[in-house]
Amino acid sequence: MSDIKVYPVDKEGAKSAWINEESYQQLYQQSVDSPDVFWADQAKRLDWITPFTKVKNTSFDPHNVSIRWFEDGELNVSQNCLDRHLATRGDQVAIIWEGDSPDESLNITYKELHEQVCKFANALKAQGVKKGDVVTIYLPMIPEAAVAMLACTRVGAVHSIVFGGFSPDALAGRIEDAGSHFVITSDEGLRGGKCVPLKKNVDLALNNPNVKVEHVVVIKRTGGDVAWSEGRDLWYHELMATASADCPVEVMNAEDPMFILYTSGSTGKPKGLKHTTGGYLLYASMTHQYVFDYKDGDIYWCTADVGWVTGHSYIVYGPLANGATTLMFEGVPSYPDSSRFGRVIEKHKVNQFYTAPTAIRALMQQGEDVLGDSDLSSLRILGSVGEPINPEAWEWYHRIFGKGQCPIVDTWWQTETGGIMIVPLPYATAAKPGSATRPFFGVQPRLVDNEGTELAGATEGNLVIADSWPGQARSIWGDHERFVQTYFSTFKGYYFTGDGCRRDGDDYYWITGRVDDVINVSGHRMGTAEVESALVAHPKVAEAAVVGYPHPIKGQGIYVYLTLQAGEDGSEELSKELKAWVRNEIGPIATPDLIQFAPGMPKTRSGKIMRRILRKIAEDDFGALGDTSTLADPSVVEDLISNRQNRL
């Protein structure tokens, strides 16, 4: 590993940083030696309506998985994100909104945001939304998305945000699973100059007889025509026009559910991870401050969508709990052209910039001057999230965005973890491009072999976490048994992340990717089983097997092997039709990249598809197929190889 470049800590910058090398060591030690003392102290960053007397009460024992933090404390998220800032920073900008078009932007102060949230909270109550009800949010990246989230937390409703790129079917499944009776959407979304028919998708989703929704609140974004169901559908602006701006907060227990967020697993149905109030907010707020070394007055920009956990924790809750100015971007990096990120950084003088490796690689492909003459001198810290960042992309990001001056924080975490878990704190940990480096406070990563035996020293294995942290998901909505099965039964006594990982001689962690049947496409998590079940729903498809393969921009691409029904023939046409089919069934992010028609799949004698072989062929690495002698019909492999779609 001697050829790996190390970027030492900037000692000058460290002088004024929240955390430096010494304080990291010391606080980390305290966080694992005396978690109760450590977290009780950290929890002072929140306003508690009723102070807690208990801190940590958690068990990873598979017979009794139970995770509780601050369990007798009471607080309210929207009060922590808004009300408590009014006296000191009411006129400070809370949200800078940058529209899809470069001509459209908006500054919203804490006072204004508070007023909108109070009004919308009252409007929700007037429509019957009560504490504990699940409200589905299906919105583009407009300020009203943050207003809706905070209004839910104000009244104690549990939000379930569904990414605006998901199909009507995917939306319907999530509304049904969550038992949600309220939906908040907009007429249309706007991305890269194109309209996304959100209200139309909601109407289609609500045609599903299992979906029982009382009200749909519709925000006018584009003014495009929408169908209207009288009595069910309500305009946001009409509700807001008459709503009172006086709305006391609902008092919530620290362990009351705050939101549900669906994510893919290795089996078919998406899992609704349940996050609760106190621990989540504490963890989002604390990680946001320390990971981005956020200081008063900084302009912070995370390019994620609020439909993903990154948007929850690092566009809305972490920053607003910290009284920060957070930038929300409606558009895409390539519109009107690929200098957009640079233009926005210059326009709003962004100090911290947090994006995904896939976006960096897409820009990198267009050359060194892709950001034009944008002035990037305001940037101080760069962040990366969603997938491993390859060292080439890291170096490019460092050089082109950071001018060689900005620390890069490569943040490893998951929907399940609520916040950042492994990361080089910007002025405390020397960076190695491609490594997420060291654990955040309270996080105890371990590597185990497939039998669950802990591995010591420099080695590679399954990444597990040995003890709970406050931001951890508490359960899967409506299916605690699945929660226990998925995360706590493979390796007893640990939380299993699903990731493989290497640890080097400096105790740095290097995430190597998923070890389950989950692939990571442009930083989005995709269960191969979900794509397969969409494909077999097509009348011409008999069997489908989906694997990931290395893709220069997306990280992983979606590679499909298909056996058609007898009498059907594979063609370019059918390939296109099936791509469109999956797009329509799940959403554009699930669109297959490559489809190979395969008369036979490599199966064991018991009928199990050997994915290892399919992965190798998809990687164009069929020299190393390993043992194929257990296949029922080893001859299918020849055909698979000769018709492979990815030729390097």
**Letter for the amino acid at 568?**
E
Binding status of residue 387 toward ligand WT7 by CB under 6 A: yes
| 499 marked as part of a ligand binding site | yes
User: Does 414 sit near ligand WT7 (CB under 6 A)?
Assistant: yes
Using CB under 6 A, which of 276, 310, 429, 472 touches ligand WT7?
A: 310
- Selected range binding ligand WT7 among 468-476, 493-501, 600-608, 628-636, rule: CB under 6 A: 493-501
- Asked whether position 525 contacts ligand WT7 by CB under 6 A, the answer is yes
Cα–Cα distances (Å) from 406 to 383, 384, 476, in that order, read: 10, 13, 38
383 near ligand WT7, rule: CB under 6 A? no
Told to check if 511 binds ligand WT7 by CB under 6 A, we report yes
CB of 512 to ligand WT7, least distance (A): 8
343 membership: H or E segment, kind and range: helix 340-348
Name the residue nearer to ligand WT7 (CB basis): 340 or 525.
525
**Is residue 411 close enough to count as binding ligand WT7 by CB under 6 A?**
yes
Stretch that binds ligand WT7, among 42-50, 230-238, 285-293, 382-390 (CB under 6 A): 382-390
Look-up of token digits 């950071």: 402
Q: What is the number of other CB atoms lying within 10 angstroms of the CB of residue 328?
A: 27
From 51-59, 87-95, 146-154, 302-310, span contacting ligand WT7 (CB under 6 A): 302-310
* Shortest distance (Å) from residue 358 CB to ligand WT7: 11
* Size of site (CB under 6 A) for ligand WT7: 22
Alpha-carbon distance of 308 to 162, in angstroms, equals: 8
Q: Are 139 and 188 in contact (CB under 8 A)?
A: no
DSSP symbol at 582: H
**Is the Cα dihedral 314, 135, 93, 246 positive or negative?**
negative
| Annotated binding residue 197 | no
Query: How many C-beta atoms surround the C-beta of residue 103 within 10 A?
Result: 6
**CA geometry: angle 322, 326, 327, nearest 5 deg:** 175
Q: Which stretches of 23-103 are assigned E, i.e. beta strand? A: 56-59, 66-69, 74-75, 93-98
Among the listed residues 76, 160, 263, 472, the single contact to ligand WT7 using CB under 6 A: 263
Minimum CB separation of residue 339 from ligand WT7 in Å reads: 26
**Cβ neighbours for 610, distance < 8 A, ≥ 6 positions apart:** 602, 603, 604, 628, 630, 631
Instruction: Decide whether 115 or 499 has the Cβ nearer to ligand WT7.
Output: 499
> Per CB under 6 A, does 469 bind ligand WT7?
no
Asked if 291 is part of the footprint of ligand WT7 (rule: CB under 6 A), the reply reads no
Q: Which residues contact 347 (CB under 8 A, 6 or more apart)?
A: 98, 105
**What b/e readout covers 382-419, taking b as 16+ CB neighbours within 10 angstroms?**
bbbbbbbbbeebbbbbbebbbeeebbbbbbbbbbbbbb
Residue with Cβ nearer ligand WT7 (498 or 587): 498
Q: What sign does the dihedral 158-317-479-272 (CA atoms) show?
A: positive
Binding residues for ATP: 386-388, 410-415, 499, 514, 525
Binding residues: 191-194, 310, 386-388, 410-415, 499, 514, 522, 525, 536, 538, 541, 583
Binding residues (CB under 6 A) for ligand WT7: these are 263, 308-310, 385-388, 410-415, 436, 497-499, 511, 514, 520, 525
Binding residues for CoA: 191-194, 310, 522, 583
Binding residues for Mg(2+): 536, 538, 541
